């Protein structure tokens, strides 16, 4: 079996050797800041909803956001400043490991930077780079109370102005805007009141310190400042404008492509810390005269949770390679992105629930990190893009993925210190249905000697049969409830593909791969049964559903080996008090 230190992030052992020297130094400095602060203080700050001011002072001192979030073109010759998705994911995982509030501050800074780095406004980009260098953070002013993140509708309105130096006056409210209390630049989505349709959209940069910017409230209780603010007759100068017209619409979607990806790595970090606490407690807890982990259902929960966590990490890590290798000719990342946002984050909820069913009352104690994770893990799949929105996006790629493969060069592991410049040149946000993919079947076939991989591959092929012989009819294609179930079945195939690719690249132990596909088989069967029960399912679809159900291959010896791996994490990490 692989050793425990190779499978999960452990702050006390990780050396980040795949990265350059300055990246390693900053990541280690970040870990040391959290560890020296101590668990009691971190949990106290969470309970008392203390704003992360001390953390931002540290970020400023170490220039972490400046180093990690500045494209090299605006780095003033600093070779360490670049936008590198691999190390950004590592940073996100650390933030998630210690507290979602710290992750969130970075997350919304990334989103706020998206429209800026994509724009042709050189002055705004230089200003953003300088503010990052000065320790500043950004905000993303898209959502509104009445419209959510619906970019087709916005009530923040721009009125053309004939005042010297002022292009527009902006009036309206934004809601659910992270960092809106301190952001030096707030990227604001708006529409002109003198134009109609897509030509009316405008992104501009606002200053949260301006007198016409009114900070109203934090709409949640917590360390995260999720603001609502109002602009009243706010002066928008030409130099503040980032995008106009259809380009502004694309900038909104493309920002989400880049910014929301880190939901997965933040969730992985949260689950890893929760897992350490759970196994260490359970392994040393005596109940009815026996260790809790002597009970078969407890071991089953731990093995399942561990397998799902490793799968989350494997998929997310492999998806980075596709993100970093993307181009206008290779847009496969557009599928893998909503899978990270919906599937990986939803799996995080499952992992925490499995562990919480073991910890029971212990999971609510205020002196545990687990209590914080259990309270917040559900926010990730629901942050500006619920699971059903992302699965609906995933469905657009299904025909080409399953039935119309294309040839692409092989993509290896991308930990190289490159600047991911394509993120800011993604082009118009359209054409998802035209994106093609390499043939997904070879990686399944290469691993078909693993029993549960072979079984799941049968189910994957069965989905193709369903779509070819008894696919959704005209009425079902308008029934989102039915289609989402098909989308979940399809997502499992995509999820499995990248997990297998990462397993091959890293030499992931066969037992772990088999255990991962044990739950893949079970999950596919559950969605098949759900499809059978849909009110609109036809007889042919019901017959298919029952025929697609499989029982995973049971291997008691493999399970016992997996349990020994899980057990090895007992005491492997405990945060300094």
Same domain, 267 and 241: no
Q: Does residue 103 fall inside a structural domain?
A: yes
What average pLDDT score do residues 525-552 get? 97
Same domain, 24 and 123: yes
Residue with tokens 């002066």: 235
Same domain, 187 and 229: yes
The pLDDT tens digits for 360-409 are 999 999 999 999 999 999 999 987 567 888 898 999 999 999 999 999 99
The pLDDT tens digits for 479-538 are 999 999 999 999 999 999 999 999 999 999 999 999 999 999 999 999 999 999 999 999
**Which of 349, 351, 318 lies closest to 336, judged by CA?**
318
pLDDT at 429: 80
| CATH number of the structural domain spanning residue 42 | 1.10.540.10
Same domain, 99 and 211: no
* Phi–psi pair at 213, nearest 5 degrees: -105, 115
What average pLDDT score do residues 319-335 get? 97
Of 187, 222, 247, at which residue does a domain stop?
Answer: 247
| CATH number of the structural domain spanning residue 170 | 2.40.110.10
**Which of 183, 185, 187 lies closest to 115, judged by CA?**
187
Give the chain's domain count.
3
Residue with tokens 């969470």: 46
Q: Does residue 468 fall inside a structural domain?
A: yes
Residue with tokens 């689950």: 271
The pLDDT tens digits for 563-576 are 999 999 999 999 99
Structure token pair of residue 19 = 């990265």
pLDDT at 147: 81
Structure token pair of residue 230 = 């109002």
| Integer Cα distance of 542 and 470 in angstroms | 10
pLDDT at 514: 98
| Integer Cα distance of 154 and 137 in angstroms | 24
What average pLDDT score do residues 454-467 get? 98
Alpha carbon 228 to chain centroid, angstroms: 23
Q: Is 339 in contact with 352 (CB distance < 8 Å)? A: no
Same domain, 217 and 278: no
User: At 2, is the pLDDT very low, low, confident or very high (cuts 50, 70, 90)?
Assistant: very low
Q: Does residue 423 fall inside a structural domain?
A: no
- The conformation of residue 179, written as its DSSP 8-state character, comes to T
Same domain, 344 and 476: yes
User: At 209, is the pLDDT very low, low, confident or very high (cuts 50, 70, 90)?
Assistant: very high
Same domain, 479 and 526: yes
User: At 290, is the pLDDT very low, low, confident or very high (cuts 50, 70, 90)?
Assistant: confident
Same domain, 230 and 261: no
pLDDT at 5: 46
Q: Is 352 in contact with 377 (CB distance < 8 Å)? A: yes
The pLDDT tens digits for 84-143 are 999 999 999 999 999 999 999 999 999 999 999 999 999 999 999 999 999 999 999 999
Q: What is the three-state SS of 285-309?
A: CEECCEEHHHCHHHHHHHHHHHHHH
In this structure, of 2-11, 133-142, 365-374, 428-437, the range with the lowest mean pLDDT score is 2-11
What is the number of residues in the chain?
A: 577
Same domain, 357 and 486: yes
pLDDT at 153: 83
Pairing of strands 241-244, 185-192: unpaired
Same domain, 129 and 143: no
Structure token pair of residue 153 = 């509708």
Q: Is 202 in contact with 158 (CB distance < 8 Å)? A: yes
Q: Does residue 313 fall inside a structural domain?
A: yes
User: At 230, is the pLDDT very low, low, confident or very high (cuts 50, 70, 90)?
Assistant: very high
Average pLDDT of every residue of the chain: 95
Rg (CA), the chain: 24
Same domain, 33 and 175: no
Same domain, 181 and 51: no
Counting residues of the chain whose pLDDT is more than 90, the rounded percentage is: 92
Alpha carbon 225 to chain centroid, angstroms: 20
4 pLDDT more than 70: no
pLDDT at 3: 38
25 pLDDT more than 60: yes
15 pLDDT more than 90: no
pLDDT at 316: 97
Q: Does residue 210 fall inside a structural domain?
A: yes
pLDDT at 180: 96
Q: Is 74 in contact with 419 (CB distance < 8 Å)? A: no
Q: Does residue 98 fall inside a structural domain?
A: yes
Of 193, 219, 247, at which residue does a domain stop?
Answer: 247
Q: Left (φ > 0), alpha (ψ -120 to 50) or beta: where does 571 sit?
A: left
| Integer Cα distance of 87 and 103 in angstroms | 14
Q: Does residue 410 fall inside a structural domain?
A: no
Distance of CA 343 to CAs 110, 308, 338, Å? 21, 11, 8
- pTM given for the model: 0.96
The pLDDT tens digits for 303-324 are 999 999 999 999 999 999 999 9
Counting residues of the chain whose pLDDT is more than 70, the rounded percentage is: 99
Q: Which domain holds residue 158?
A: 139-247
Q: Burial code of 97-122, b = ≥16 C-beta within 10 A, e = fewer?
A: bbbbbbbbbbbbbbbbbbbbbbbebe
pLDDT at 384: 54
Residue-wise DSSP of 429-454: S--GGG-----SHHHHHHTTTSHHHH
User: At 1, is the pLDDT very low, low, confident or very high (cuts 50, 70, 90)?
Assistant: very low
Residue-wise DSSP of 379-439: GGGGSSS-HHHHHHHHHTTHHHHHH------------S----GGGG----S--GGG-----
**Which of 356, 353, 378, 377 lies closest to 365, judged by CA?**
356
Of 103, 119, 137, at which residue does a domain stop?
Answer: 137
Q: Does residue 511 fall inside a structural domain?
A: yes
């Amino acid at each position: 079996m692989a050793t425990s230190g190779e499978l999960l992030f452990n702050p006390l052992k990780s050396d980040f050797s795949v990265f350059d020297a300055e990246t390693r130094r900053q990541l280690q400095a970040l870990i040391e800041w959290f560890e020296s602060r101590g668990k009691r203080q971190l949990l106290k700050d969470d309970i008392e909803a203390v704003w992360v001011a001390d953390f931002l002072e540290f970020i400023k001192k170490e220039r972490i956001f400046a180093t990690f979030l500045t494209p090299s073109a605006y780095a003033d010759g600093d070779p360490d400043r670049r936008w590198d998705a691999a190390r950004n994911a590592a940073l996100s995982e650390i933030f998630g490991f210690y507290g979602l509030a710290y992750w969130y501050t970075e997350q919304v800074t990334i989103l706020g930077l998206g429209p800026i780095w994509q724009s042709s406004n050189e002055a705004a980009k230089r200003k953003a780079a300088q503010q990052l260098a000065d320790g500043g953070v950004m905000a993303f002013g898209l959502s509104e109370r009445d419209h959510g993140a619906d970019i087709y509708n916005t009530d923040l309105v721009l009125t053309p102005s004939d005042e010297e130096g002022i292009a527009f006056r902006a009036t309206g409210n934004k809601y659910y805007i992270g960092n809106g209390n301190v952001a030096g630049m707030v990227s604001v989505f708006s529409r002109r009141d003198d134009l109609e349709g897509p030509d009316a959209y405008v992104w501009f940069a606002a200053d949260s310190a301006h007198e016409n910017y009114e900070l109203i409230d934090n709409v949640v209780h917590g360390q995260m400042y999720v603001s609502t603010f109002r602009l009243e007759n706010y002066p928008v100068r030409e130099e503040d404008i980032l995008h106009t017209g259809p380009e502004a619409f694309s900038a909104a979607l493309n920002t989400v492509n880049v910014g929301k990806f880190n939901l997965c790595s933040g969730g992985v970090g949260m689950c890893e810390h929760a897992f350490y606490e759970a196994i260490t407690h359970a392994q040393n807890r005596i109940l009815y005269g026996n260790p809790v982990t002597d009970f078969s259902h407890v071991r089953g929960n731990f093995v399942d949770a561990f397998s799902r966590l490793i799968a989350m990490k494997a998929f997310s890590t492999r998806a980075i390679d596709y993100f970093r290798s993307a181009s206008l000719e290779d847009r496969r990342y557009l599928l893998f992105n909503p899978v990270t946002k919906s599937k990986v984050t939803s799996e995080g909820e499952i992992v925490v629930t499995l562990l919480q069913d073991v910890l029971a009352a212990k999971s609510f104690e205020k002196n545990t990190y687990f209590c914080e994770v259990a309270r917040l893990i559900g926010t990730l799949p629901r942050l500006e893009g619920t699971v059903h929105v992302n699965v609906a996006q995933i469905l657009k790629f299904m025909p080409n993925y399953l039935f119309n493969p294309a040839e692409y060069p092989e993509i290896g592991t991308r930990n190289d210190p490159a600047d991911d410049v394509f993120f800011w040149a993604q082009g118009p946000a359209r054409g998802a249905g035209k994106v093609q993919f390499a043939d997904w079947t070879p990686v399944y076939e290469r691993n078909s000697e693993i029993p549960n991989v072979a079984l799941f591959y049968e189910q994957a092929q069965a989905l193709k049969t369903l779509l070819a012989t008894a696919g959704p009819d005209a009425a079902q294609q308008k029934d989102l409830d039915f289609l989402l179930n098909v989308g979940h079945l399809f997502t499992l195939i995509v999820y499995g593909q990248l997990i297998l690719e990462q397993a091959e690249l890293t030499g992931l132990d066969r037992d772990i791969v088999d255990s991962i596909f044990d739950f893949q088989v079970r999950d596919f069967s559950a969605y098949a049964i759900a499809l059978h029960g849909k009110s609109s399912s036809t007889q042919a679809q019901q017959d298919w559903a029952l025929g697609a159900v499989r029982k995973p291959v049971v291997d008691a010896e493999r399970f016992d080996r997996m349990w020994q791996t899980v057990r090895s994490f007992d005491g492997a990490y405990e945060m300094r008090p």
